[in-house]
Copies of this chain bind each other. A is one copy, B any other.
Amino acid sequence: MEKKRDSLYASTLARGLQILRAFDESHVALSLTDLVARTGLEKSAVQRMAHTLHVEGMLERDPKSRLYRPSHAWLELAYAYYWSDPVIARALPKLIEFSRARGETVNLAQMSGDHIIYSLRLPNQRTHFAASIVGRRLPALNTASGRVMLATRSDAEIEAACATWPLVQGTEKTVMDRAEIARSIKAARTDGYCITRDQMLLNEISLAAPVRGNEGHAHGAVQVSISGITFDERQVLEQFLPHVLDTAAGILG
């Protein structure tokens, strides 16, 4: 539509991507009209894009209901991503080791703009579905992983992030005070870890340590989710912090 004065910009392709992005956790199967509503594209455009994506194997379609759904190709893209990111290959064996040794859920989170994204997850207990699958994005400032990664950046960047990056109220106890978050990040810088509680899920304690490259800044974060019912924060630090720090340090060390 009215995107950019960019002669290299192929708007048809962009429209097709809009269709793909219309699917998310609360939109798992969409009809043509759903897609029209969600993308704001013309009915005809949606028809052509969806059809093309179907022919190309990017969308499955139920002949009965005529609803479009993501196809397995979406997992193949994740597979390609995994191979492309060198941090993943280094992190995975360490996370497996941790998971085996401690029997707790351990994740690799990475920065993705002003969000974190979970790129590896080794769930060890039944929890919410969203907390067990890869690809979930959360506002960086609201998460231990995000803060501990941010803590490896410059003061200016931290300040800008604290001032402008989005916050989402995950629970009634989610910290929404930017000054307090800034303090948490400063603490994370000196401590080398960040611990939070009840931020995105009640009774969930989250402990994260940065995966640092040579240059010092974070390429990711190793994060564990611990039940706040069976442990308090002090116990989590005592029992898990050394191993988490070790695991994180070992990845690019």
> For the complex, what is the distance from the CA of A85 to the CA of B29, rounded to whole Å?
9
Interface residues of A in 15-55 (CB under 8 A from B): 15-17, 20, 23-26, 28-29, 47-49, 51-53, 55
Report yes or no: A13 in contact with B79, Cβ–Cβ below 8 A.
Answer: no
Listed in ascending order, the chain A residues whose CB lies under 8 Å from chain B are: 4, 6, 8-10, 12-17, 20, 23-26, 28-29, 47-49, 51-53, 55-56, 58, 69-72, 74-85, 88-89, 92-93, 96-97, 99-100, 103, 110, 112, 117, 119, 122-126, 129, 132-137
Report yes or no: A79 in contact with B17, Cβ–Cβ below 8 A.
Answer: no
Closest to A7 in B: B48
Q: How far is the CB of A20 from chain B (nearest CB, A)?
A: 7
> Given the complex, which residues of B lie within 8 Å of A10, measured CB to CB?
12, 16, 48-49, 51-52
Closest to A86 in B: B28
A23-B80 contact, Cβ under 8 Å, with A10-B48, A100-B125: yes
> For the complex, what is the distance from the CA of A69 to the CA of B77, rounded to whole Å?
12
Report yes or no: B110 in contact with A29, Cβ–Cβ below 8 A.
Answer: no
Q: A82-B129, A93-B126 are in contact. List 7 more A-B contacts (CB 8 A).
A: A8-B48, A8-B52, A13-B16, A14-B56, A17-B53, A17-B56, A24-B79
A92-B129 contact, Cβ under 8 Å, with A13-B15, A74-B80: yes
> Given the complex, which residues of B lie within 8 Å of A9, measured CB to CB?
48, 51-52, 55
> Given the complex, which residues of B lie within 8 Å of A23, measured CB to CB?
80, 84
- Report, nearest first, the 9 A-B pairs whose CB atoms are least far apart: A79-B135, A78-B78, A13-B16, A12-B12, A28-B84, A75-B135, A74-B81, A70-B81, A74-B77
Report yes or no: A72 in contact with B134, Cβ–Cβ below 8 A.
Answer: no
Which of A20, A78, A103 has most chain B Cβ within 10 Å? Answer: A78
Report yes or no: B119 in contact with A122, Cβ–Cβ below 8 A.
Answer: no
Report yes or no: A78 in contact with B129, Cβ–Cβ below 8 A.
Answer: no
A-B CB contact pairs (8 Å), 24 listed: A4-B55, A8-B52, A13-B16, A13-B49, A14-B56, A16-B16, A17-B58, A28-B84, A70-B84, A72-B117, A72-B119, A74-B80, A75-B78, A75-B134, A76-B135, A76-B137, A77-B77, A77-B78, A88-B133, A92-B123, A92-B132, A96-B126, A100-B124, A122-B123
